C-alpha cells in the first residue's frame, strides 16, 4: 500500500511540475539545482575557463527564466544547453582544463602502498591530465561528463544534441587517444 | 574493434562476459584500467549553487508577475476585448431610435439625463455617441422634452427646428401641423425662414406654413401627458387622426368631411366619450364594427 502511494506521489509531482511550468519559481529552482552544476562543468570541460563557464551557465538560466512561458519543463534542459553553446560560438580561447583529484575512497589502502607505487601513480596522473588536454573538445566533454559527473551516454546525447552512437564513438575515441598518448610518453 | 566502440561499452559496463574476458587479457587493458580508475576520482572545480542562483534571480529582467503560460489565451483574450470594444463603439455610433406605437406612450432618458415622453405613433432618433457635446435629435410626431442643463439642445422635425437650453417644452409635428409649447425656460423655434422665441407659458401653432394665434398655456405640461387631448382649431381629420393614434384604432371616415374647426378637449382614457363629443360637434354617428374598427357616418 505504502509503495503504491509513493509512486503515485512521485508521478503526481511530475505531472504538477509539468503543468506548473518553469515560471513557477519552485519548479525553476528545482530544475536549477538538478542541472546547473552539470551545465557549468560541461562548459568548463569545453574551455577550461572556470569563470566563463560560471558566467555562461548563469546566462543560460537567466534566459530560461525570462522565457519561461515559452519553454515547457521537458524542453528546459536542451534549452539551456543550446543557449550555452550558442553563447560560446564566438568566444573563448581554449585553456587548460585543470581538474583536481578527489581523495581516494579508502585511505587505509593508500598508506599500504609503496612509495614507488605512489610515485608511479602521480606520474600517471600527470600524463593523464596532459592527455585529456589533447583530446578533441567533443571527446573531452563526453568523457568527463561520464567520468566526473557520472552521466549516462543517453543523458550526454540529449545534452549535446547528438545520437547515443555518436557519444559512444567519442568515448571510445577518447580512451584510445588517452592510452596512446600515455603510453607514448612513458 | 574500432567500429563497435567496444571501449565505450566496456567503460559503461556493457560488455558481455566473453568480451570482457578477452579484453582483460589484452596488453592495453592495464592502461585502460588505470585510466578508468583515476578519471573516476577526478573532480571539477567547486560550484557555488546558492550564489549562482541568487545572481540569476537578480539578473533576470523584471518578470511580469502574471505570466500566462499559453500564448493562445492571451490572443483569445485580446480578440475578445477588441470585439467587445468595437461593438461598444458601434452601438454608440449608430443612431438610436426610440418610438411609441399607436396606443402607446413611452418615456426615456437621453445620455445627459434629459427626459423625453413620446406620444403615440412618434419616433425620435439620436446618436448616443458624444451626446453631451452634440445634443441634436430628429423627431417625427409628438414629444415632451425636459431638457437637462448643458450645451444647446436641438429637436429637428420635417416642419421646423426647436432649439433650447435647459427647458421643458412640447413639440408636435404631424402632417402639416407644427406646434411648440414652452413650459419652462426659453425655446427658439425656427420654421419657414422664421425664428421665434417662446417663453414659459406660450406656444406657437403653425398649420400648412401659416402661423395661427395661440392662447397662453394653462397647465405645466402638455395635455396628452394628463390624458387629455387638447385641440386648437383643429380640422376634423386631424382630430380623428389623433384619436386613431392614441387609441390604436381605425376610424373609417371617408364619407365625412367638414370645414369646421374643433377647439376643445377630448379625453384620452375613454374612447366612447371622445367619440361622442366629436360626433355631437359634427353631427355624426359612430358604430364599432370590431374591437379596433369604428365607422363614422352622418347623422
Three cell numbers, residue B222:
402638455
Chain A closest-CA separation from residue B86 CA (Å): 30
Three cell numbers, residue B138:
430628429
DSSP state of B2: G
Q: What is the pLDDT of residues A122-154, one digit of tens each?
A: 888 989 999 999 999 999 999 999 999 999 999
What is the per-residue pLDDT for A31?
Answer: 92
To the nearest 5 percent, what fractions of chain A are helix, strand and coil?
A: 75, 0, 20
Chain A to chain B, count of Cβ pairs less than 8 Å apart? 122
Three cell numbers, residue B263:
377647439
To the nearest 5 percent, what fractions of chain B are helix, strand and coil?
A: 30, 35, 35
Which of B190, B271, B59, B99 has its CA nearest to residue A61?
A: B59
- Test mutation, A50, A69, A186, chain B, max B CBs within 10 A: A69
3-state secondary structure (DSSP) of residue B68: coil
Chain B closest-CA separation from residue A22 CA (Å): 9
Q: How far is residue A70 from each of residues A74, A118, B61, measured CA to CA in Å?
A: 12, 54, 16
Q: Is the pTM of this model over 0.80?
A: no
Q: What is the pLDDT of residues B153-196, one digit of tens each?
A: 999 999 999 988 768 999 999 888 899 999 988 888 998 888 88
Which of A5, A78, A18, A92 has its CA nearest to residue A48?
A: A92
Phi-psi region of A48 (alpha: psi -120 to 50; beta: other; left: phi over 0): left
Q: Which residue of B has its CA nearest to A102?
A: B41
Chain B closest-CA separation from residue A37 CA (Å): 6
- Cross-chain CB nearest to A175 (options B11, B42, B49): B11
Judging contacts by C-beta atoms under 8 Å, the chain A residues touching residue B40 are 147
Distance from C-alpha of A96 to C-alpha of A129, rounded to nearest angstrom: 10
Distance from C-alpha of B68 to C-alpha of B71, rounded to nearest angstrom: 7
Residue ranges for chain A with pLDDT beneath 70? 1-10, 12, 16-20, 89-94, 103-113, 185-186
Q: Is B65's Cβ below 8 Å from some Cβ in A?
A: no
Q: Is B51's Cβ below 8 Å from some Cβ in A?
A: no
Whether residue B86 is predicted with pLDDT greater than 90 in this model: the reply is no
What is the per-residue pLDDT for A186?
Answer: 53
Which of B256, B274, B261, B243 has its CA nearest to residue B174?
A: B243
Q: Which residue of A has its CA nearest to B52?
A: A58
Which of B172, B176, B288 has its CA nearest to residue B237?
A: B176
Chain B closest-CA separation from residue A169 CA (Å): 6
> Taking all residues of chain B, what is their mean pLDDT, rounded to a whole number?
86
- Cross-chain CB nearest to A102 (options B32, B41, B59): B41
Q: What is the pLDDT of residues B94-123, one digit of tens each?
A: 788 899 988 889 999 999 899 999 999 999
Taking only Cα atoms into account, the Rg of chain A, rounded to an integer number of angstroms, comes to 20
Q: Is B276's Cβ below 8 Å from some Cβ in A?
A: no
Distance from C-alpha of B241 to C-alpha of B274, rounded to nearest angstrom: 13
Judging contacts by C-beta atoms under 8 Å, the chain A residues touching residue B53 are 29, 32-33, 36
**Pairing, β B228-234 against β B250-252:** unpaired
Q: Which residue of A has its CA nearest to B58?
A: A62
With an 8 Å Cβ cutoff, are B68 and A69 in contact? yes
Q: Is B74's Cβ below 8 Å from some Cβ in A?
A: no
Judging contacts by C-beta atoms under 8 Å, the chain B residues touching residue A121 are 38
- Please answer whether residues A181 and A134 qualify as being in contact, where contact means their C-beta atoms are separated by less than 8 angstroms: yes
What is the per-residue pLDDT for B107?
Answer: 92
Among B43-47, B71-75, B277-281, where is mean pLDDT lowest?
B71-75
Q: What is the pLDDT of residues B10-23, one digit of tens each?
A: 999 988 898 889 99
Judging contacts by C-beta atoms under 8 Å, the chain A residues touching residue B63 are 23, 65-66, 68
Q: Which residue of A has its CA nearest to B44?
A: A99
Amino acid at each position: 500500500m505504502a509503495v503504491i502511494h509513493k509512486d503515485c506521489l512521485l508521478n503526481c509531482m511530475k505531472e504538477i511540475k509539468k503543468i506548473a511550468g518553469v515560471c513557477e519559481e519552485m519548479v525553476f529552482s528545482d530544475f536549477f539545482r538538478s542541472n546547473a552544476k552539470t551545465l557549468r562543468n560541461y562548459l568548463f570541460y569545453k574551455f577550461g575557463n572556470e569563470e566563463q563557464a560560471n558566467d555562461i551557465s548563469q546566462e543560460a538560466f537567466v534566459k530560461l527564466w525570462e522565457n519561461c512561458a515559452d519553454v515547457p519543463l521537458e524542453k528546459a534542459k536542451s534549452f539551456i544547453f543550446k543557449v550555452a553553446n550558442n553563447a560560446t560560438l564566438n568566444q573563448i580561447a581554449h585553456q587548460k582544463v585543470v581538474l583536481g583529484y578527489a581523495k581516494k575512497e579508502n585511505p587505509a589502502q593508500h598508506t599500504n602502498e609503496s612509495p614507488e607505487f605512489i610515485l608511479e601513480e602521480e606520474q600517471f596522473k600527470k600524463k593523464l591530465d596532459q592527455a585529456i588536454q589533447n583530446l578533441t573538445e567533443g571527446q573531452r566533454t563526453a568523457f568527463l561528463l561520464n567520468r566526473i559527473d557520472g552521466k549516462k551516454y543517453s543523458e550526454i546525447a540529449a545534452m549535446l544534441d547528438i545520437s547515443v552512437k555518436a557519444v559512444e564513438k567519442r568515448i571510445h575515441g577518447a580512451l584510445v587517444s588517452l592510452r596512446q598518448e600515455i603510453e607514448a610518453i612513458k | 574493434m574500432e567500429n563497435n566502440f567496444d571501449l565505450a561499452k566496456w567503460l559503461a559496463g556493457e560488455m558481455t562476459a566473453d568480451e570482457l574476458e578477452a579484453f582483460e587479457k589484452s596488453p592495453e587493458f592495464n592502461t585502460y584500467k588505470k585510466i578508468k580508475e583515476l578519471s573516476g576520482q577526478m573532480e571539477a572545480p567547486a560550484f557555488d549553487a546558492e550564489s549562482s542562483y541568487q545572481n540569476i534571480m537578480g539578473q533576470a529582467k523584471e518578470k511580469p508577475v502574471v505570466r500566462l503560460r499559453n500564448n493562445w489565451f492571451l490572443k483569445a483574450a485580446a480578440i475578445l476585448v477588441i470585439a467587445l470594444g468595437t461593438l461598444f463603439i458601434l452601438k454608440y455610433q449608430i443612431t438610436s431610435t426610440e418610438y411609441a406605437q399607436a396606443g402607446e406612450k413611452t418615456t426615456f432618458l437621453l445620455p445627459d439625463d434629459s427626459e423625453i415622453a413620446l406620444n403615440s405613433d412618434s419616433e425620435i432618433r439620436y446618436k448616443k455617441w458624444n451626446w453631451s457635446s452634440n445634443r441634436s435629435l430628429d423627431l417625427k410626431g409628438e414629444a415632451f422634452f425636459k431638457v437637462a442643463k448643458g450645451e444647446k439642445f436641438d429637436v429637428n422635425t420635417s416642419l421646423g427646428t426647436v432649439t433650447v437650453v435647459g427647458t421643458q417644452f412640447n413639440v408636435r409635428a404631424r402632417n402639416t401641423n407644427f406646434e411648440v409649447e414652452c413650459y419652462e425656460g426659453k425655446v427658439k423655434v425656427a420654421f419657414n425662414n422664421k425664428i421665434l422665441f417662446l417663453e414659459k407659458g406660450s406656444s406657437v401653432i403653425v398649420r400648412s406654413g401659416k402661423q395661427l394665434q395661440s392662447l397662453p398655456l394653462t397647465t405645466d405640461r402638455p395635455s396628452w401627458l394628463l390624458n387629455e387631448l387638447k385641440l386648437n382649431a383643429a380640422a376634423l381629420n386631424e382630430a380623428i387622426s389623433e384619436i386613431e393614434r392614441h387609441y390604436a384604432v381605425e376610424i373609417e371616415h371617408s364619407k365625412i368631411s367638414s370645414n369646421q374647426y374643433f377647439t376643445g378637449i377630448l379625453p384620452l382614457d375613454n374612447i366612447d366619450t371622445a367619440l361622442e363629443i366629436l360626433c355631437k360637434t359634427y353631427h355624426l354617428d359612430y358604430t364599432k364594427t370590431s374591437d379596433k374598427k369604428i365607422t363614422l357616418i352622418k347623422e
